[in-house]
Amino acid sequence: MPGGLDHVIHAVRDLEAAAELYRRLGFTVGARNRHAWGTHNKLVQLPGFFIELLTVAEPEKLGTDRFSALFGTFNRIFLKDQEGLSFLILESEDAATDAARFRSAGIGVSDAMRFEREGKRP
Tens of pLDDT along 76-111?
999 999 999 999 888 888 888 888 888 899 887 766
* Domain segments of the chain as ranges: 4-104
Task: Label residue 120 by pLDDT band (50, 70, 90).
Answer: low
Is 101 in contact with 108 (CB distance < 8 Å)? no
Tens of pLDDT along 14-73?
999 999 999 999 999 999 999 888 999 999 999 999 999 999 999 998 887 776 677 888
Q: Which CATH architecture is the domain 4-104 placed in? A: Roll (3.10)
pTM of the entire predicted model: 0.84
